[in-house]
Chains A and B, each alone.
Chain A
Amino acid sequence: DAGITQSPRYKITETGRQVTLMCHQTWSHSYMFWYRQDLGHGLRLIYYSAAADITDKGEVPDGYVVSRSKTENFPLTLESATRSQTSVYFCASLSRGLYEQYFGPGTRLTVT
């Protein structure tokens, strides 16, 4: 499928478990981003990446790990999930030289 996809779309996990959210884009965009959306906070940046093997922390990186071994993939891992990480997670990508970020459909994560 063309565009940007996220998997899974819905996930329920238990406190303390490791969980990985996947993000895949087919445009070969250089830049990719992870945001979380919580009521009353809008979207907040977790991590971002300029290219394969280049990642940077955003506003709320604690408890998350990212990697980018291939340009098209940008997985987000919660190493030990906590209830405060219950949220909707959005992945986005951006082409070099442009300004519009393209968002994936989101993953709704519930940590019990």
Chain B
Amino acid sequence: AQKITQTQPGMFVQEKEAVTLDCTYDTSDQSYGLFWYKQPSSGEMIFLIYQGSYDEQNATEGRYSLNFQKARKSANLVISASQLGDSAMYFCAMRDASNSGYSTLTFGKGTMLLVSP
């Protein structure tokens, strides 16, 4: 079974600094996908970035980049130039290939990021 581990319950960063949120995963599948979602205090789940296991380049979306190290089974999220609005819970997730032939998501427990002025 797939497993996602986020070892940082909470992280603090100052505005304009970069921050890395850690995510390691465990799977026996060759084909999989890794996601990061943001959950602000308002509660909605916001998709940030996706990395496929066969993608050779690290995914980037604006200030977000995914540092994908396949051999280490890690998929860390890097936020450059943090903003106050980045304060939120961040979840790493993996796309499973279910027996039904389509994908479900397995989530980590999340990391709470607080950005200070």
Contacts and interface: CB of A to CB of B under 8 A. Distances in A.
B107 A105 contact: no
Nearest to B91: A42
B100 A56 contact: yes
Q: Is the interface of A mostly helix, strand, loop or mixed?
A: strand
Interface string B24-52: 00000000010101000001110100101
A50 interface: yes
B105 to A, nearest CB: 6
A42 B98 contact: no
A40 B109 contact: yes
B103 interface: yes
A18 B57 CA distance: 49
B68 to A, nearest CB: 15
A80 interface: no
B93 to A, nearest CB: 8
A92 B35 CA distance: 15
Interface residues on B, range: 20 to 34
Interface in B47-87: 47, 50, 52
B95 A50 contact: no
Contact of A42 (B33, B99, B102, B109): B109
Given A50-B100, A56-B100, A99-B50, A45 B45 contact: no
Interface of A: 31, 33, 35, 40-45, 48, 50, 54, 56, 58, 88, 90, 92, 94, 96, 99-103, 105-106
Given A35-B107, A56-B98, A56-B100, 14 more contacts: A42-B110, A43-B93, A45-B104, A45-B106, A50-B101, A54-B100, A58-B104, A92-B45, A94-B102, A94-B103, A99-B35, A100-B47, A103-B44, A105-B44
